Chains A and B, each alone.
Chain A
Amino acid sequence: MRVPFGWLQEFINPGISVEKTAHLLTMSGLEVEALETDGEDVVLVINVTPNRADCLSILGIARELSVLTGAPLKLPAPPAGEAGPAGITVEIRNTELCRRYAGRVIRNARTGPGPEWMAKRLEACGLRPINNIVDVTNYVLLELGHPLHAFDLNTLKGGRIVVDTADKVYRKIKTLDGVERKLPAGALVIADAEGPVALAGIMGGASTEVEESTRDIFLEAAWFEPRNIRKTARALGLSTESSYRFERGADIGIIPLALERASLLIEDLAGGPGTVIRDGGVDVYPVKYAPPTIEVRTSRVNRILGAEIEEDEMLRILSRLGFAVNSSDGLIRTSPPSFRLDVEGEADVIEEVARIYGYDRIPAALPSSTLSADGAGSREDFIRLVGGAIRKSGYSEAVNYSFMNPRALENLSLSPNDLRRNAVVLLNPLKTEESLLRTTIVPSLIENLKHNRERGLKNIRLAETARVFIREREGELPREPLKLAGIAVQQKTHSFWRDAAEDFYLAKGAVEALLDELRIKDRHFTPSGEPFLHPGKSADLVAGGRKCGYVGVLSPAAAEKFEIREKEEITVFELDLDVLFDLLPPPTVYRPVPKFPYIERDIAIVVADGIKADDVIRYIKNYPSEFIEEAAVFDLYKGEKVPAGKKSMAFNIRYRAGDRTLTEDEIEVIHSGLVKDLLVHTGGSLRA
């Protein structure tokens, strides 16, 4: 709401500067967002919250200011006299949706351009001047907050006005903006003897528009039910100054005043010899305003606020706000004025008292609260642990929108029955590329990688923890599993104090470091079938017997589909954090550290390429000897010194007994047996 200070001063002389006025309004709930200079005047730009329809006018702001400063409010003159019969009949067929319909017939007006001063004020408030009659209705709308509509009387057919909802008879209307509109079901219309002439409370019809030639006018002021107006306005995608006010709740009590004010202005601005502004009036008011009586205990006010406001002060505040009040024994009975439809119950009254009393006067005191043993909760701790572990492996935490481009699913070559195809679709996305909710985080990270690459960054590691969304049944909420995904690319450097490893192992290392951090030991990796990964450089993580993620090099085909130009291998991983959370082990049960030393043996074997290190280690660990404590691979070699199609792998095996120091002789027997059996099992040979 834009309020020129000069206009405001026609209703109140606050006796304070515009800055002080802005501060007072802001601190009572009418936030002044800016003070704009407009020629000689200053415009207060006020953010009026949806509950305060009463403040969508100069009068409303002045009224509020009067409460805050005590300065008297200067109201426009009440109607000077009764108008005679209008010669127009009004029939309200739905008195719930239209509780009052009043009008005034004005004859022999001279339609033409409005005066400069009025045009300037309309423009300062964001409205476009049209002609003196329409300008007057807009001016009164801004000034008093009540929307009016002017019909060209001579275009209204049959001398009657019917207020009714759209039905078989009333199906469409051509509105003032020249658009032919189909009336939505339940829309309230104003009709004459032949059909709809206005969309009630939203916009007039083109056929009855006031034009330069208009002489006789029917001026309408009515009260329409907020929800109905909003529903129709939304259905039509139409929001006007009028609908904006009706859907927030107009003041049914101000209707006579608004008609009088507009009539007098028309007389002033469009009048001349023969102009009659009281040719006839109608006021059909079937549902009288009946304010609720709200009971509020003064002790309750202070109990909710944590304040000690005297009953007298509460009563004073409410009366100044225009509420009817009476009280006895600490119980206040109060009724809001007709312009305060937002006040319905005790809580609303408490807020009124508090905001005029001043929030800053209510003391601040920490609650002497009950202690809570809940703390952050283990899931919150878990997510922090995951973030810390992944950062240690060099991954920075990324945050992306939860949206996904439908093309991403194609780029990933997901099979038709892949769950990740069951994406949630938005009805009103901002753009097609953001029309799905993510079922995987990886496409977002690929875009991040490209963004960084384009800006010259060579070494990139990004990880994101976020929920993805898997659609299950129609009409039900989707599943929202929590995922951790990462992407990495690095420039190959052959620096003497660094060593190079396959990028795959760096990514896998990050995953393993995370699993170590989480103490999840029951895990292994098997070749992955993810369609967007390099089939020879990818693995699924199996933990607790379930697949809960993958790690691998993005396949060249996928990289191409995502339009990645660089040749470096890009590694990605994505883990199901909900599953990992469930796999978190109970607290460690301490075992005594070994008292006796171990004996180590190294062994290098030449085996076929297809033999996996993991298989060998598992074979060793499962070998029937109680003394085998640990086995680990420490070298892998392929090249000239081993035959083609084969590789050499070196393992370190650690033997230990729990109750004594093993002898070399004892170990020799077991170890040579193990080597012999291992060679048979793997079909390999000892490396010379």
Chain B
Amino acid sequence: MGGVNIRKSFLQELGPVRTISGLELLRVRYLGKKGILTAELKKLGGLPPEERRSAGALLNESKVFIETELAARRQELKELELREKFASQAIDVTLPGRYTRPGRTHPVIRVMREITGIFVAMGFSVEEGPEVELDYYNFEALNIPKEHPAREMQDTFYVSPDIVLRTHTSPVQVRVMQRKKPPVKFIAPGKVYRCDADISHTPMFHQIEGFMVADDITFSHLKAVLESFLHRIFSPDVPVRFRPSYFPFTEPSAEVDIGCIFCKGTGCRTCKGTGWIEILGSGMVHPHVLEMVGYDSRIYSGFAFGIGMERVAMLKYSIDDIRLFFENDLRFLGQF
């Protein structure tokens, strides 16, 4: 049998082979010690030298050919085998993964943490104060004596004539100043209470108090700190304006508005057509408040501000009913 014929018959026999073991049998049949090609190679010795040379070359070519074909087919079969194995092991990858679906962060807490983060990055520390508070800290030390009309600005829950649920986070100002020498620079997040419940008021809500007193703090600083904060929490291009207002414990006092984020200032229901939304109250700490804790108001000055968390969360997430925050409906909480 010549080299060409060997190749032909090998290819015919290779055609139907579909297993690695069949392939091995075929290899032995051609290339084994007693294989067809091996036998032909042995015959070469009997040929005349001039023929031997060309016949030998031909047979060697065939041998390489067969080896290459076998290797290629082996590779093919191996891949096929693997594919079949994978196919048989396949699972439905669209079934849900196994994990505990994480709980969600309450939007008010989320906003509170975000705001806390912004001020901590600006170098403010975080302070706490009691929620059930002495009338003294909640009012008197903040320049709101008994029988002051400003008490009407905040409907108060009473525990006794001298003990109230704090109506704002501002008493923390006084408690911190009693403990620390200036300069002080802190925020105080927490719950506050007002004896009031309707569509837009809940008897409990959250505030963050901000406070900074040193020997050089100005109203100009207050403006810049609050502008930076509002640009970070809303957006860098939101307009901010300061307008005079009144809080007994700050003088000058300022209400801070941002351009309505819904209508972009053209006027809508949320901003009552004004194009502006009231977002927080602030001002320069009243000298009386400083003097009450023994800070020399001729040397020290500072600013304070209070931000309602629910209000920020409502604006940030377009929530139209404050009461949603306290129902803890998972269809609501799940969205944040």
The answer to whether B224 and A366 have CB atoms under 8 Å apart is yes
Within 8 A of B (CB), among A372-424: 372, 374-377, 379-380, 384, 387, 390-403, 424
A-B contact count (CB 8 A): 252
Closest to B257 in A: A26
Q: Is A497 an interface residue (CB 8 A)?
A: yes
The answer to whether A375 and B125 have CB atoms under 8 Å apart is yes
The answer to whether B329 and A376 have CB atoms under 8 Å apart is no
Choice from B100, B105, B225, B287 contacting A387 with Cβ under 8 Å:
B105
What residues of chain A lie closer than 8 Å to B132, measured between beta carbons?
424, 437, 469, 477-478, 480
The answer to whether A399 and B108 have CB atoms under 8 Å apart is yes
The answer to whether B212 and A351 have CB atoms under 8 Å apart is no
Q: Is A31 an interface residue (CB 8 A)?
A: yes
Closest to A32 in B: B274
CA distance A29 to B244 in the complex (A): 4
CA distance A50 to B95 in the complex (A): 63
Q: Is B295 an interface residue (CB 8 A)?
A: no
What residues of chain B lie closer than 8 Å to A51, measured between beta carbons?
150, 246, 248
The answer to whether B333 and A398 have CB atoms under 8 Å apart is yes
The answer to whether A477 and B130 have CB atoms under 8 Å apart is yes
Q: Is B40 an interface residue (CB 8 A)?
A: no
The answer to whether A29 and B328 have CB atoms under 8 Å apart is no
Q: Is A311 an interface residue (CB 8 A)?
A: no
What distance in Å separates the Cβ of A331 from its nearest Cβ neighbour in chain B? 14
Closest to A22 in B: B274
Closest to A475 in B: B160
What residues of chain B lie closer than 8 Å to A360, measured between beta carbons?
241-242
Closest to B106 in A: A397
B-contacting 9-mer, from A154-162, A286-294, A425-433, A671-679:
A425-433
Closest to B298 in A: A300
Q: Is B50 an interface residue (CB 8 A)?
A: no
Instruction: Give 1 or 0 for each of A208-250: 1 = CB within 8 Å of chain B CB.
Output: 0000000000000000001100110010000000000001100
Q: Is A34 an interface residue (CB 8 A)?
A: yes
What residues of chain B lie closer than 8 Å to A462, measured between beta carbons?
103, 328, 330
What residues of chain B lie closer than 8 Å to A377, measured between beta carbons?
125-127
Q: Is B133 an interface residue (CB 8 A)?
A: yes
Main SS class of interface, B: mixed
CA distance A371 to B221 in the complex (A): 15
The answer to whether B126 and A306 have CB atoms under 8 Å apart is no
Q: Is B101 an interface residue (CB 8 A)?
A: yes
The answer to whether B123 and A369 have CB atoms under 8 Å apart is yes
Instruction: Give 1 or 0 for each of A26-55: 1 = CB within 8 Å of chain B CB.
Output: 111101011000000000000001111000
What residues of chain A lie closer than 8 Å to B216, measured between beta carbons?
367
CA distance A354 to B252 in the complex (A): 8
Q: Is B59 an interface residue (CB 8 A)?
A: no
Q: Is A305 an interface residue (CB 8 A)?
A: yes
The answer to whether B224 and A372 have CB atoms under 8 Å apart is no
Q: Is A279 an interface residue (CB 8 A)?
A: no
The answer to whether B105 and A391 have CB atoms under 8 Å apart is yes
What distance in Å separates the Cβ of B136 from its nearest Cβ neighbour in chain A? 11
What residues of chain A lie closer than 8 Å to B284, measured between beta carbons?
304, 347
Q: Is A668 an interface residue (CB 8 A)?
A: no
What distance in Å separates the Cβ of A247 from its nearest Cβ neighbour in chain B? 6
What distance in Å separates the Cβ of B213 from its nearest Cβ neighbour in chain A? 11
What distance in Å separates the Cβ of A249 from its nearest Cβ neighbour in chain B? 9
What residues of chain B lie closer than 8 Å to A437, measured between beta carbons?
132, 165
Closest to A392 in B: B102
Q: Is A348 an interface residue (CB 8 A)?
A: yes
B-contacting 9-mer, from A102-110, A452-460, A620-628:
A452-460
The answer to whether B134 and A451 have CB atoms under 8 Å apart is no
The answer to whether B272 and A351 have CB atoms under 8 Å apart is no
The answer to whether B220 and A365 have CB atoms under 8 Å apart is yes
What distance in Å separates the Cβ of B25 from its nearest Cβ neighbour in chain A? 44
The answer to whether B103 and A397 have CB atoms under 8 Å apart is yes
CA distance A367 to B220 in the complex (A): 8
With A350-B252, A477-B132 as contacts: A364 and B123 at CB distance below 8 Å: no
The answer to whether B212 and A247 have CB atoms under 8 Å apart is no
A-contacting 9-mer, from B1-9, B68-76, B151-159:
B151-159
Query: How many chain B residues touch A (Cβ–Cβ < 8 Å)?
Result: 88
Within 8 A of B (CB), among A343-369: 345-348, 350-351, 354-355, 359-360, 362-367, 369
Choice from B126, B191, B246, B253 contacting A380 with Cβ under 8 Å:
B126
Closest to A381 in B: B126
Within 8 A of A (CB), among B183-231: 183, 185-186, 191, 193, 195, 197, 202-204, 212, 214, 216-221, 223-225, 227-228
Instruction: Give 1 or 0 for each of B93-107: 1 = CB within 8 Å of chain A CB.
Output: 001001011111110
The answer to whether A350 and B251 have CB atoms under 8 Å apart is yes
Q: Is B173 an interface residue (CB 8 A)?
A: no
Choice from B103, B116, B197, B212 contacting A369 with Cβ under 8 Å:
B212
CA distance A335 to B240 in the complex (A): 34
Q: Is A434 an interface residue (CB 8 A)?
A: yes
Q: Is A370 an interface residue (CB 8 A)?
A: yes
Choice from B100, B203, B253 contacting A351 with Cβ under 8 Å:
B253
The answer to whether B133 and A390 have CB atoms under 8 Å apart is no
The answer to whether B134 and A477 have CB atoms under 8 Å apart is yes
Closest to A398 in B: B328
Closest to A402 in B: B204
The answer to whether A367 and B217 have CB atoms under 8 Å apart is yes
What residues of chain A lie closer than 8 Å to B327, measured between beta carbons?
448, 451
CA distance A376 to B121 in the complex (A): 9
Q: Is B258 an interface residue (CB 8 A)?
A: no
The answer to whether A230 and B157 have CB atoms under 8 Å apart is no
What residues of chain A lie closer than 8 Å to B246, measured between beta carbons?
29, 49-52
CA distance A463 to B318 in the complex (A): 24
With A362-B219, A366-B225 as contacts: A455 and B329 at CB distance below 8 Å: yes
Q: Is A565 an interface residue (CB 8 A)?
A: no
11 A-B pairs besides A351-B253, A475-B163 with CB distance below 8 A are A51-B246, A345-B287, A366-B224, A372-B124, A374-B126, A376-B125, A396-B106, A402-B165, A427-B159, A427-B160, A428-B158
- Can you list 18 A-B pairs with a CB-CB distance of less than 8 A? A29-B244, A31-B243, A50-B153, A51-B246, A304-B284, A359-B244, A360-B241, A365-B218, A365-B223, A391-B105, A402-B193, A403-B203, A426-B159, A437-B132, A452-B330, A466-B191, A477-B163, A480-B131
Residues of chain B whose beta carbon lies under 8 Å from any beta carbon of chain A: 95, 98, 100-106, 108-109, 113, 116-117, 120, 123-128, 130-134, 147-150, 152-153, 157-160, 162-163, 165, 183, 185-186, 191, 193, 195, 197, 202-204, 212, 214, 216-221, 223-225, 227-228, 241-246, 248, 251-255, 272, 284, 286-287, 301, 325-331, 333-334
